[in-house]
Structure formats: C-alpha cells, structure tokens
Structure 1
Amino acid sequence: MWNLKNLFQKHAHEIQRVLQKSGHGADEAEDLTQDVFLRILGAEAPQQADNPRAYLHRTAKNLAVDRYRREKIAAIDAISEERYLELADDAPGPETIVSDRQQLALLQQKLAALPPQMRRAFELYRLQDLTIAEVARELGLSVTRTWTLIRQAYVQLRSALDDDNEQ
C-alpha cells in the first residue's frame, strides 16, 4: 500500500518540473500534478504497482496528453477586458422588461375576465399542474368538457396577446 503523503512530498515537485519542461505553464503543471495524485487517490489498482515513481510519471504524461487533446478540440482564446465588456448581455433590456410586464398584466386581466368555470379549469390545469382528468374530477365535469374549457381559455388568452402585439 502506497503512502500518498510520502509520495507527494517525494515526487510532486519533480513531476511538476517535468511537466513544465514539456511545455506546460507553471499553473497548468501544478494543476496536472495535483490531478495525478487525485487520480491515485481514487484508484485501487495502482497501489499494487512495483514502481510508484514510474506510475506517477506515466499518469502525469497521460493527463497532459488528455488536456492537450481537450484544448485542441475546444480551443479557448483569451480576450481582453475591453472586448469582454463589448460582448452582448443576455439579460433583458428595459424595453423587454416593460413589454413583458405589460403582457403579464394584460393576461391577468383577461384571465380574471374569463367565465368562472373556465378560469378555474385553466388555473387548475396550468397553474396547479393537475391533469385534465384530475381537473374534471375537481369540477365534476367530463374530461371532454374540461378539455373544451381549457382549450377555450387558451384561445381567448392567446387572442388577447395577439391583439396587444398588433397594436
């Protein structure tokens, strides 16, 4: 059984130097060195290897190759802070926020104006996530009648939004 603490103290600096000499930056070599020991910590088979130093170096080389392949596939380009600040923001702008709030207020108004049974069926189905059969049971209606009420509510609410967008 390997003593991981002793192995780290004895070989970590050496592995990091080898990785740096093979073209990895200091930070990357340090990360890869830590990954080597994490790999050993999570594996059982290498504990049986005769030469821990050779195993550590082979693991380091394999991890370095894996990182190189991963970077080759998904190359990451560093950009300046100025360029970063020019990138588009995914957050909605003030116009979108105002428009969405107006549409929400309109929908709330139109929902309140629906006939009570239709509104209740729609709310149970859409807002409380009940199935149509559960809504039908709750309202004491047939499944077909319940679906008709929900569909009519959708049509009226969609129509209200379409009319608002045309203006």
Structure 2
Amino acid sequence: MLLTHTRSQELAVLYSDHHGWLVSFLRRKLGNIDNANDLAQDTFTRILTARDADAIREPRAYLTTIASRLTAQYFRRLALERAYLDALAAMPEETVPSPETRMLIVEALTAISRILDGLSPRVREIFLLSQLDGWTYADIATQFGMSVNAVQKSMIRAFQHCYTAVYPAQ
C-alpha cells in the first residue's frame, strides 16, 4: 500500500503520541515488557497496512481494539502451544517431531483456530463434533434438539466459511 505524505505524517503522530501508552496498556495485560513491545509494534503494523485507517477519531479506542485482538491471538497461540507440548510429553521420545516440525504444527493449529473463531459458537461446535469426533448429523441433531436439515445447513455455513478463509476472493 502506497502511503501519502499526509497519511505518513498522521501515522507518525499517532505512533509518537500513543506508543508509550499502548506499551503500558499491553504490559498490564501481558505482564511482560518484551511481549508488550512486540504486540505494540504488531498493532502499529496492522494500522500501517489497514485500508480503513484513514481518519481515526478515537486513537486510543482504535489502538485498544486492535491490541486486544492481537492479545487474544497471542494467548490462544500460547494455549495451543501448551496443549501441544503436553501431548508431546506423553509421546515416546523416539516419535517426538523435530523442533522445526513442532513450530510448523503450532502455526497450522493457530491458523485453524483463527478460522474456527470466525464461526458462531453453535456452528463451530456442530462442525467440530462432526469433523473431529465423528458424530453423525442425526446424533448432533439429537444433542442440540434440532433437525438433521438444520445441522446440514450449519455444516454448509462452516464449510463455506472455511473455504472462504483459505481461498479468499481475489
């Protein structure tokens, strides 16, 4: 994205006026200055690459929203890493994947989690019961007190959402 001189100046002022405040805000949430600095930089990077960041009327509210989303992603990634490391600890040593493979797996799990977070809780649960737990649509319908047709429609929404997330319209 090409920055105009005016937009570049506005972003520089936004950064200089609010960077310290944002780092303090994130440090309180994360309890760590290094992670706070990283997420603050990620926040400003998001603004720099955003297409709708033209006239920011409430800079701190805008920064808080972006930083909070990034913080949620950070904690989700930590939870996934912990769960994965716990699963690895239970494996026989000779079957444990290499550190590079582990990193790729954690990145894939994070991407999948982010995609699934875009679904409504009910559709996400229906999708996971079907795809991970192997439940039939009839079993899911009984569990939720709905028709099989309604389960099918939920699955269609889930598949469409996943397809769109993986293959966005160009």
- Tell me which interval the TM-score lies in, with the shorter structure as reference length: 0.3 to 0.5
Larger Rg: 1
Relative contact order (alpha carbons < 8 A, sep ≥ 6): 1 or 2 greater?
Answer: 1
TM-score calculated relative to the size of structure 2: 0.42
